[in-house]
Amino acid sequence: MEKKTAVIPQSEVERQLAFCDRIAERTAQWEQTPLAAVITYGCQQNEADSERLRGYLARMGYGFTEDLEQARLILINTCAIREHAEQRALGNVGALVHGKRRHPEQLICLCGCMVQQPGMAEKIRQSYRHVDLVFGPQALWRFPEMVWERLRSRGRTFQVEDDPGSIAEGIPVVRQDGIKAWVSIMYGCNNFCSYCIVPYVRGRERSRKPEDILAEIRELVKDGYRDITLLGQNVNSYGKDLAEPMDFAALLEAANAIPGDFLLRFMTSHPKDATHRLFETMARCEKVAPVLHLPFQAGNDRILKAMNRRHTREEYLAKIRDLKSLIPDIVLTSDIIVGFPGETTEEFEDTLKVLEEVRFDALFTFIFSPRAGTPAARMEDPMPRSEKLANFNRLTALQDRISEEKHAAYVGKTVRCLLDLTSEDGAWPLTGRTPGNRLVRIQGDAAAAGQFRNVKITGANKWSLFGELT
């Protein structure tokens, strides 16, 4: 029998909120409203987690700042996906030691995927003594209790035990944007792609109940949100762990039925679990944006097997053909890793062939970075970095050409865009997104931000489109 997800009892979440209130009683007595700086690295899941941490902080009486000198509490939410992400976070944490010397009352908190890696907590304990509080993603819901303990006892707290994770509902959220919102529908990952650290640091796959997700979306739509992205590491395996199993296509359909003028997106999908039923649901649901992010990582079957992706190139291409036949104007994006251990330049060229055949609108491209504890980190990796870089540059050059060609095809068309930001750039005071999430820089009245409006596309380059309100 499949193991059911642990759900945190509501009384436990209430207990955390009570800690917030006790902290708020204290902070209310401080001379000034305390400010918190929240710095987030990594993916949208981390962004979404930071919004919940901000929700807790607001309830504790904190305001927010980006100025670290002003901050009474600094929270760094880290990522571990590649070595670079880790080094950046550690570099920034190291630099905080000087501020803490000037302001010993400052509380420095470190959370997220990086701290959950084996050995990392010990490293922080020894070498980053100015860090007060360290907790992994699975302990996030207990943040208020940790802050309370720290304020009371002055001891350092480490909450990084190996934890398959749970679901906690009812944590307050302070969102960063008023138009676009993230909604986590599931946490964790069970796939163990051989290069990837995520399953080790984010615990097992677990799904929120559909009624909680749908209630959150309804609330967002009521509050004026227009662009809602459902988040999970592999949304296509949503619902398998629920007491009453429900698949992702059914969830999407239920979300689509919520009244209001808004767009639904989702990420990420794993090709092995992306089905005809999903594509057909996307085609039928008018609020689901015509866009799919479907990482394929590599175009060679031997490499895909070594990556433990559990699909072949042909299976991937067949799914794309099926999707294009249902939604001809689908916008496609993908993730690619160059230089997986043992990948030859000839095998890498199979990746280029996939680009030529699919013609993605945009790509997220990475050079393989060994992550301690993953199988790929122990594989022979004879190719010199210079050769990997040369391949990487060939890949981006090809994609730049394709992106530019695809963007050029928009010129002259009128597209219904969601206008989001206003910018300082007088020539292009607005930016917007096509339904497929392509960036458009727009001439027109900045007051239109937050609305869906028709935009005539007048120009394009490889990064973005240009247009005017009609």
Residues that contact ligand F3S, how many (by CB under 6 A): 11
Residue 438 as a binder of ligand F3S (CB under 6 A): the answer is no
| Pairwise CA distance, residues 313 & 316, whole Å | 5
Dihedral (CA of 356, 360, 363, 365) sign: negative
Candidate list 36, 37, 38, 43; residue touching ligand F3S; CB under 6 A: 43
Which residues in 317-351 are b (16+ Cβ under 10 Å) and which e? bebbeebeeebeebbbbbebbbbbbebeeebbebb
Strand partners, 432: 419, 440
Residue 189 as a binder of ligand SF4 (CB under 6 A): the answer is yes
Residue 46 as a binder of ligand F3S (CB under 6 A): the answer is yes
CB of 237 to ligand F3S, least distance (A): 16
**Neighbour tally for 262: CB within 10 Å:** 21
CB of 391 to ligand SF4, least distance (A): 20
Report the Cα–Cα distance between both ends of the chain, in Å, rounded: 57
| Pairwise CA distance, residues 343 & 152, whole Å | 54
Binding partner of 369, given ligand SF4, ligand F3S, ligand SAH, none, CB within 5-8 angstroms per partner class: ligand SAH
Nearer to ligand F3S, 16 or 116 (CB): 116
Angle CA(64)–CA(268)–CA(81) in degrees, nearest 5?
A: 65
Query: Which long-range contacts does 85-91 make (Cβ < 8 Å, 24+ apart)?
Result: 85/41, 85/42, 85/114, 86/114, 88/41, 89/41, 89/114, 90/114, 90/128
CB of 234 to ligand F3S, least distance (A): 12
Binding partner of 371, given ligand SAH, ligand SF4, ligand F3S, none, CB within 5-8 angstroms per partner class: ligand SAH
CA atoms within 13 A on the CB side of 36: 25
Alpha-carbon 18 to chain mean position: 29
Task: Give the pair of three-digit tokens for residue 291.
Answer: 């866009």
Nearer to ligand SAH, 136 or 188 (CB): 188
Residue 337 as a binder of ligand SF4 (CB under 6 A): the answer is no
Residue 319 as a binder of ligand F3S (CB under 6 A): the answer is no
Binding partner of 355, given ligand F3S, ligand SF4, ligand SAH, none, CB within 5-8 angstroms per partner class: none
Residue 168 as a binder of ligand SF4 (CB under 6 A): the answer is no
CB of 295 to ligand SF4, least distance (A): 7
Residue 354 as a binder of ligand F3S (CB under 6 A): the answer is no
Residue 179 as a binder of ligand F3S (CB under 6 A): the answer is no
Task: Give the pair of three-digit tokens for residue 348.
Answer: 């890498």
Sites of contact with ligand SAH (CB under 6 A):
81-82, 195-196, 198, 233-234, 268, 270, 295, 297, 335, 337, 366, 368-369, 371
Q: Tell me the one-letter amino acid at 111.
A: C
Contacts of 431 (CB under 8 A, 6+ apart): 419, 420, 421, 422, 423, 439, 440, 441, 442
Candidate list 234, 351, 391, 431; residue touching ligand SF4; CB under 6 A: 234
Q: x/- contact string, 183-222, with ligand F3S (CB under 6 A)?
A: --------------xx---x--------------------
**In Å, how far are 78, 165, 307 from 337, measured between CA atoms?**
21, 28, 10
Candidate list 73, 113, 186, 263; residue touching ligand F3S; CB under 6 A: 113
| Pairwise CA distance, residues 455 & 329, whole Å | 17
Residues between 196 and 225 that touch ligand SF4 (CB under 6 A): 196, 198-199
Q: Tell me the one-letter amino acid at 456.
A: K
Candidate list 20, 48, 79, 120; residue touching ligand F3S; CB under 6 A: 79
DSSP E strands in 272-314: the ranges are 291-293
Residue 304 as a binder of ligand SF4 (CB under 6 A): the answer is no
Binding partner of 12, given ligand F3S, ligand SF4, ligand SAH, none, CB within 5-8 angstroms per partner class: none
Binding partner of 113, given ligand SF4, ligand F3S, ligand SAH, none, CB within 5-8 angstroms per partner class: ligand F3S
Residue 45 as a binder of ligand F3S (CB under 6 A): the answer is yes
Nearer to ligand SAH, 266 or 428 (CB): 266
Contacts of 404 (CB under 8 A, 6+ apart): 460, 461, 462
Candidate list 54, 270, 319, 407; residue touching ligand SF4; CB under 6 A: 270
CB of 43 to ligand F3S, least distance (A): 3
Residue 376 as a binder of ligand SF4 (CB under 6 A): the answer is no
Nearest to 165 by CA among 193, 196, 142: 142
Q: Which residues bind ligand SF4 (CB under 6 A)?
A: 189, 191-193, 196, 198-199, 233-234, 270
> Which residues are at the interface with ligand F3S (CB under 6 A)?
42-43, 45-46, 79-81, 113, 197-198, 202
